[in-house]
Amino acid sequence: MSVTVITKIDRMTRWVPGAAERLHEAALELFATRGFEQTTATEIAQSVGLTERTFFRHFSDKREVLFHKQHLFVQAFLAGVEAAPPDASPIEIVASVLRSATSFFPDERRHPSRRRQSVIDQNPALQERELHKFAGVATAVADALRVRGVAEPAATLAAESGITVFRIAFAQWIREDEQRSLADIAEDVLHELLNLARGRD
């Protein structure tokens, strides 16, 4: 490959400030208005004046735009495990995980989150990918609990319960008529889970 060609490719794929964010916002807009299947990566890029090449520098395919920043999402859960005091019980650690994870979704994220969910709800393959994402978070949290000395099956039960509470709270948070913060809803749902478990006797 000649130097000219390399320089040309380098110029075409150069770093564009905030490109991932712009592509992400544009994709959500197009997916929500036109439909996920009907939108191409090229159209997403062009709608914000970027090239298809720039799109593929940031995302492997259009599906991945919806799972942007997933590593930060997982980290928000794991930070909650870290933040719990050393003598915390597994369920106290779950409460700490929920406080940390929900702080990742301040109220200004409610509208884009609702829009993203409406896209996912309309596509079975995206739903499977979303389930896979949460399964990965649950595995990571269970691993972190075991590192803290929580035995099995308590570690997996606590991690899975935390994810279930988060998902139920999240679905409620993005409802059109909902005003409470995600943190408040998650606290209520966790409380319901504890009541449910205590109600057996």
Write out the residues near a copy of itself by the rule CB under 8 A: 89-92, 95, 124, 127-129, 131-132, 135, 153-154, 156-158, 160-161, 164-165, 168, 172, 189, 192-194, 196-200
Residue 17 vs 124, nearer CB to a copy of itself: 124
Q: Is the dihedral of CA 23, 49, 61, 122 positive or negative?
A: positive
C-alpha angle 163-168-174 in degrees, rounded to nearest 5: 120
112's CB contacts (< 8 A; 6+ apart) are 25, 28
Residue 39 vs 161, nearer CB to a copy of itself: 161
Q: Scanning the structure block, which residue is given the tokens 């915390």?
A: 88
Residue 48 vs 160, nearer CB to a copy of itself: 160
Residue 80 vs 90, nearer CB to a copy of itself: 90
| Nearest C-alpha neighbor of 140 from the set 191, 75, 199, 188 | 75
- Min dist. Cβ of residue 199 to a copy of itself (A): 5
- Min dist. Cβ of residue 200 to a copy of itself (A): 4
- Min dist. Cβ of residue 117 to a copy of itself (A): 15
The DSSP 8-state label assigned to residue 90 in this structure reads H
Residue 111 vs 175, nearer CB to a copy of itself: 175
- Min dist. Cβ of residue 134 to a copy of itself (A): 9
Dihedral-angle region of residue 69 (phi above 0 means left; psi in -120 to 50 means alpha; beta otherwise): left
- Min dist. Cβ of residue 152 to a copy of itself (A): 8
Residue type at position 91: I
